[in-house]
Amino acid sequence: MALVGSGSAVPATRVSNSDLSARVETSDDWIRSRTGIAARRIAAADEGLTALAARAARACLEQAGWQAEQVDLIVLATSSPDDLFGTAPRVQAALGARNAVAFDLTAACSGFLFALITAGQYLASGSMRRALVIGADQLSRWVDWDDRRTCVLFGDGAAAVAVEACPAEQTGLLGFRMRSDGSRNACLTLAQTDLHTPLLPGVTAQQGGFAPIQMNGQEVYKFAVREVPAILAELLEATGTSPDQLNWLLLHQANQRILDAVAERFAMPSEQVLSNLADYGNTSAATIPLMLDEAVRDGRVQPGHLLASSGFGAGLSWGAALLRWQGPAA
């Protein structure tokens, strides 16, 4: 598959670290020095995920030069859907992409990379030609705004990439690796609450509902700095790529210290490590395409550039992909 377009959208409301310190006991200095985050965008109460994802997808269609009717597949990576039955069909309808099949994929912060790899399989098999892969999350819905250990980390956003079938020798997905380890699931959860409703005598049903994000920050940090360099090293070796051939490191934006640790492992200069954590915080499934779109639009990422990407987070799940950006047809 060829990566031929990108687009993104973030809510208008910007909440700085100092703004947050009015709500919880924290400070700009604590958040910046521990995470690299300075501000995040927060969706308005009436701004759903569908609208945000559709805005990102429209910008992506425009950059790719595609009409909505030409899209065969929409995969929406999200952990904060408007509808647990699936939000992707709502996005499809909002775009008018009437020929596309649309479904959600849930893998938290690995979601975008897993969705991109999934779409790549449909295109490689020849069963579909054009796909929109969207990463979108509004974790502001699911953080406990009184828990300073988590609420400072996350922000809302959406971004999309347009991928098109192409001859194997021109593929922009040069290799990938995917992993899950559910035995460490408790490190980071947005789990079903234990609510019950009496139904009939002797019959009790579980009531739907989710508890706010729970996280063991230190365990997640250790997981990331151990597994991300390992899976990237494995991928580079399998594809016969040396770090100095890479133009960019495009990692899930969770924490600047994680980005720095991974970069150090591969001796990548900081100028080649893409980061927009300061502006948006951790937007979960959206971070990788949001970062990519910014770097494509400001000209840092050019056609032909090679990017090593890794997504990692709840599940636990993590993955890596070696990507070549093609950009829209001239």
Q: Which residues bind ligand ACO (CB under 6 A)?
A: 26, 30-31, 34-35, 109, 148-149, 152-153, 188, 215, 217-218, 220-221, 224, 252, 254-255, 282, 312-313
**70-106 burial by CB neighbour count: b if 16+ within 10 A, else e?**
bbbbbbbbbbbbbeeebbbbbbbebbebeebbbebbb
The residue among 37 and 100 lying less far from ligand ACO, judged by its C-beta, is 37
CB of 219 to ligand ACO, least distance (A): 8
Q: How far is the C-alpha of 130 from the C-alpha of 251, rounded, in Å?
A: 25
CB of 75 to ligand ACO, least distance (A): 20
The residue among 148 and 300 lying less far from ligand ACO, judged by its C-beta, is 148
Point out the residues that are catalytic: 109, 252, 282
Q: In Å, how far are 29, 80, 131, 213 from 118, measured between CA atoms?
A: 40, 20, 10, 26
The residue among 108 and 128 lying less far from ligand ACO, judged by its C-beta, is 108
Helix pair 256-265, 28-35: axis angle to 10 deg: 20
Q: How far is the C-alpha of 168 from the C-alpha of 124, rounded, in Å?
A: 8
- 158's CB contacts (< 8 A; 6+ apart) are 8, 9, 10, 49, 52, 53, 55, 56, 134, 135, 136, 137, 286, 290
**Does the N-terminal peptide bond of residue 174 adopt cis geometry, omega within 30 degrees of 0?**
no
CB of 319 to ligand ACO, least distance (A): 12
- Cβ(280)–Cβ(157) under 8 Å? yes
The residue among 23 and 98 lying less far from ligand ACO, judged by its C-beta, is 23
CB of 165 to ligand ACO, least distance (A): 31
The residue among 196 and 222 lying less far from ligand ACO, judged by its C-beta, is 222
Q: How far is the C-alpha of 21 from the C-alpha of 18, rounded, in Å?
A: 5
CB of 188 to ligand ACO, least distance (A): 5
Closest CB to ligand ACO: residue number = 217
